[in-house]
């Protein structure tokens, strides 16, 4: 079966990772494409994605010019849907899988107060509901949502370009209870789209109060992927959200690993925001080299997630500064690795100068080494350029079995350059680098 005709599934070889239905490993490398591209820019965006080895994105079907339910509650615009149809066809042609998020609105008031309101559903505006709770809890509301799912099945049923169907964006933020509704709707997704994954999402993991909801969703039957949202946010009550991006990503991934849900984990929304999500961070305008994006991409996977971190604010973080190449660099770092077959164990060897995040596998051990003295605060806030690291080495203890016959290569993702290396006296000498470097050890 050709890759583009295969579906993404949880790997039967290792349920922490994905593979295609033809047995080939699949690591989702991508971002949140929200707002989605306009018709005029769609071809160009998909071309940049393909050129930079991006194989995943997330779209919101109910948002802005992609919204098919824009004129009347319960009526769906087939002509408006052609934008999504065209995009998914382009994605399939270019080997890109699309996570399709169905809804995002958070309340149903009579008058619009917030960007996330859906006033079309309110009785005063020709809708059928008095409130969000009325929509989610009533048989009428659930029947309407199921009808919308069936409408989409007619257009996208059995579509291999769909990575997963996602019920809602950050559903714990809606003005009504979300858990029982989710438990009822996940089986509907599986019944209508049996070849695609089914998922749900919660809001940013930025305070201890979301630990319970996150644990409940991660272990929920029918929710195929343990997803987490985590941002660099100086307004968050969790102190970890104020620090280095690799540290906050590691903390989020390890939190979900501790739930022992037996599912792939993805940091499926990340980015830098103004305090308490009040807007896009001004740091992006200063980040010409892509320090933030690089850390958001690399850190989650090397901490044990099934893919890269998926950045929000794609226009500010990727398109505007033209930082697409960072995706190709991540893809290059892991190229050729049969991720589900490795049975990776995440390890974090101690080091005085670097934070090392490593995956020890059956045949391959790969480590991402991050300079501990440089991060977004020193570079983008204090204006201190990252310094070149010279004469550095890492210990093989815990990474390479004694006496193993191995080859060693080092990849500099900032220069897109591979360098051969060797083990001497239990250490791997690293070439000079700035910010981060990848070490790859393979059994011969």
Number of domain units in the chain: 2
On whether both 367 and 298 belong to a single domain, the answer is no
Euclidean distance between CA atoms 389 and 431, whole angstroms: 8
On whether both 350 and 310 belong to a single domain, the answer is no
pLDDT score at 1:
81
Indicate the residue among 336, 367, 384 that finishes a domain: 336
On whether both 11 and 132 belong to a single domain, the answer is yes
* DSSP assignment letter at 146: H
Residues (pLDDT < 50) of the chain are: none
On whether both 383 and 329 belong to a single domain, the answer is no
Length of the chain: 444
On whether both 234 and 318 belong to a single domain, the answer is yes
What domain range is 75 assigned to?
A: 3-336
- In tens, the pLDDT along 412-439 reads 999 999 999 999 999 999 999 999 999 9
Structure tokens at 302: 């090397």
On whether both 127 and 245 belong to a single domain, the answer is yes
Structure tokens at 105: 């609105």
User: CA torsion angle for 238, 244, 247, 249 (degrees, to 10)?
Assistant: 80
> Which neighbouring-strand residues pair with 107?
117
Indicate the residue among 289, 309, 336 that finishes a domain: 336
What is the domain-level CATH number for residue 415?
2.60.40.1180
On whether both 320 and 362 belong to a single domain, the answer is no
pTM above 0.85?
yes
Euclidean distance between CA atoms 211 and 198, whole angstroms: 21
Euclidean distance between CA atoms 365 and 358, whole angstroms: 7
Indicate the residue among 285, 316, 336 that finishes a domain: 336
On whether both 415 and 288 belong to a single domain, the answer is no
Structure tokens at 329: 């660099």
Q: How far apart are the first and last CA of the chain?
A: 30
pLDDT score at 200:
98
- In tens, the pLDDT along 236-284 reads 999 999 999 999 999 999 999 999 999 999 999 999 999 999 999 999 9
H or E stretch at 60 = strand 56-60
On whether both 106 and 163 belong to a single domain, the answer is yes
On whether both 331 and 358 belong to a single domain, the answer is no
On whether both 71 and 152 belong to a single domain, the answer is yes
CA nearest to 68, candidates 155, 131, 190: 155
Q: Is residue 341 part of a domain?
A: no
């Amino acid at each position: 079966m050709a890759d583009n005709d295969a579906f993404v599934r949880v790997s039967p070889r290792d349920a922490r990772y994905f593979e295609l239905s033809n047995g080939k490993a699949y690591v989702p490398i991508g971002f949140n494409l929200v707002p989605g591209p306009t018709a005029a820019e769609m071809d160009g965006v998909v071309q940049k994605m393909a050129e930079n080895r991006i194989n995943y994105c997330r779209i919101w079907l109910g948002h802005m010019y992609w919204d098919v339910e824009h004129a009347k509650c319960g009526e769906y615009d087939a002509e408006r849907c052609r934008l999504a149809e065209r995009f998914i066809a382009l994605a399939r042609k270019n080997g890109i899988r699309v996570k399709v998020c169905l809804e995002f609105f958070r309340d149903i008031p009579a008058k619009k107060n917030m960007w996330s309101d859906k006033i079309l559903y309110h009785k005063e505006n020709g809708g059928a509901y008095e409130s969000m709770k009325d929509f989610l809890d009533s048989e009428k509301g659930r029947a309407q949502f199921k009808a919308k799912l069936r409408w989409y099945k007619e257009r996208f049923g059995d579509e291999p370009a769909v990575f997963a169907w996602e019920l809602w964006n950050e559903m714990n933020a809606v003005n009504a209870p979300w858990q029982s509704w989710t438990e009822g709707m996940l089986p509907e997704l599986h019944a209508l789209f049996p070849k695609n994954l089914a998922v749900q999402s919660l809001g940013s993991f930025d305070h201890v109060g979301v630990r319970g909801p996150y644990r409940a969703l991660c272990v929920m039957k029918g929710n195929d992927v343990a997803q987490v949202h985590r941002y660099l946010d100086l307004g968050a009550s969790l102190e970890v959200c104020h620090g280095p991006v690799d540290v906050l990503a590691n903390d989020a991934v390890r939190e979900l690993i501790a739930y022992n849900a037996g599912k792939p984990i993805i940091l499926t929304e990340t980015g830098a925001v103004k305090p308490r999500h009040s807007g896009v961070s001004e740091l992006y305008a200063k980040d010409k080299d892509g320090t933030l994006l690089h850390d958001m991409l690399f850190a989650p996977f090397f901490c044990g997630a099934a893919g890269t971190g998926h950045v929000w604010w794609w226009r500010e973080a990727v398109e505007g500064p033209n930082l697409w190449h960072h995706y190709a660099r991540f893809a290059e770092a892991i190229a050729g690795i049969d991720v589900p077959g490795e049975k990776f164990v995440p390890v974090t060897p101690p080091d005085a100068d670097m934070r090392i995040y490593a995956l020890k596998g059956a045949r391959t051990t790969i480590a991402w080494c991050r300079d501990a003295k440089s991060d977004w605060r020193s570079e983008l806030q204090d204006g201190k350029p990252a310094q070149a690291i010279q004469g550095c080495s890492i210990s093989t203890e815990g990474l390479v079995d004694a006496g193993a016959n191995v080859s060693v290569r080092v990849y500099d993702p900032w220069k897109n350059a591979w360098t051969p290396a060797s083990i001497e006296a239990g250490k791997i000498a690293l070439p000079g680098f700035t910010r981060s470097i990848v070490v790859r050890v393979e059994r011969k």
